[in-house]
Amino acid sequence: MPEFFPLEIGVVENITPNSVSLTFKIPEDKKEAFRFKPGQYITLKTNINGAEVRRSYSICSAADDPGITVGVKKVADGTFSVYANEELSAGSEIEVHPPEGRFTFDAANDPGNTVVAFAAGSGITPVMSIMKAVLKDTDRDFILVYGNKTLEETMFYKDIMSLKERYGNRLEIQFLYSRTQENDAIFGRIERSTVNYILKNKLDSAGDAVFYLCGPEGMINNVSETLKEKGVASDRIKFELFSSDDSGEAPSDVPEGKTQVKVTVDDEEFTLLMDRKKRVLDAVLDNDIDAPYSCQGGICSSCIARVKKGKAEMVKNQILTDSEVQEGLILTCQSHPLSSELEIDYDDV
């Protein structure tokens, strides 16, 4: 169901001691398929040690760049991230799914005269693309609040400073470092006090800004709650989760038993029987149903489906809005069935 295309890596660049950027060449006949909105991601697929591995990475390049670039930070014991940092080189080929995602900037429709981004670690990657679009394609100001452990581990530091040199007073940058003291930087992490500082000292009117949050779940929750307490409307706060503390355990109140699931995907219907302790997407894939998915960790939006009958509960949801949940949308990779029958439709989203 998800269509992947083989793309050649044109450039691999070490951007920190533990992260690289991968720039993919886009053939002329694939340029339309790989056209993207700032903030979207691509999914990479390859085989490592005989097993298929899929990972989603946000695009950090500008929309008019000739290739598509993503940043990959090495994670301890990570499979693909270690492979990307240690094995990939220019000329390597990887299967790539075209851009997806709803954490996007739309110059024509997004409100506000100022764009503010709170990013931590590798959460900077989609923000890079959004920041380039705001500065190049609009006359809006951009405020970047970017947290890392050290200056040395700050992804895209040189690129950010080049943008600052080019766009001057339209780009305000506040770095934070949790392990080192640096000039013109705050010591610590992005917390409630950071948000209050930015709102008080960097913004004339928080109500006339739009906010993009990207990083660990705790940071996103703290920043979002603080902004709302200060009167920022929910529809002006966009976020994308870049890590999850999901334990993988089913909710304690899910009863024992089975659920009969009817699945609609690509205008085909399938029926399966699953254990309620299992997640819906896992059961669907185990039955060789070609449903859409990417990360399987609840941090992208590829596996969204609509519940037509029955009830399902999500273990974690950092993507769907309250109204979308009320409409019956679920992340199937995070959902357990709660009823004896469940009908889901991947086409009706």
CATH number at residue 298: 3.10.20.30
DSSP code of 325? H
- 165 part of a folded domain: yes
Residue 248 has pLDDT above 70, yes or no: no
**Range 304-313 average pLDDT:** 92
- 248 part of a folded domain: no
150 in Cβ contact with 180 (< 8 Å): yes
Residue-range definition of the domain harbouring residue 223: 114-241
**Residue 297 CB contacts under 8 Å (≥ 6 apart), including other chains:** 244, 246, 333
What does the mean pLDDT of the chain come to? 90
Pairing of strands 141-148, 41-48: unpaired
Do 236 and 336 lie in one domain? The reply is: no
Residue 53 has pLDDT above 90, yes or no: no
- Give the domain-ending residue among 100, 133, 158: 100
Q: Single out the residue of 165, 99, 157 nearest to residue 128, CA to CA.
A: 157
- Give the domain-ending residue among 216, 241, 266: 241
pTM for the structure as a whole: 0.75
Which H/E stretch holds residue 171? Answer: strand 171-177
272 in Cβ contact with 246 (< 8 Å): no
Q: What is the reported pLDDT for 347?
A: 87
Where residue 29 sits, what CATH number does that domain have? 2.40.30.10
313 in Cβ contact with 339 (< 8 Å): no
Q: What is the reported pLDDT for 73?
A: 92
Do 129 and 225 lie in one domain? The reply is: yes
**Residue 45 CB contacts under 8 Å (≥ 6 apart), including other chains:** 4, 52, 53, 54, 94, 95, 96, 97
Higher pLDDT, 119 or 2: 119
* Total number of domains in the chain: 3
- 252 part of a folded domain: no
Pairing of strands 258-265, 268-275: antiparallel
Do 230 and 319 lie in one domain? The reply is: no
- Give the domain-ending residue among 75, 100, 125: 100
Q: What is the reported pLDDT for 243?
A: 54
Do 262 and 164 lie in one domain? The reply is: no
- 109 part of a folded domain: no
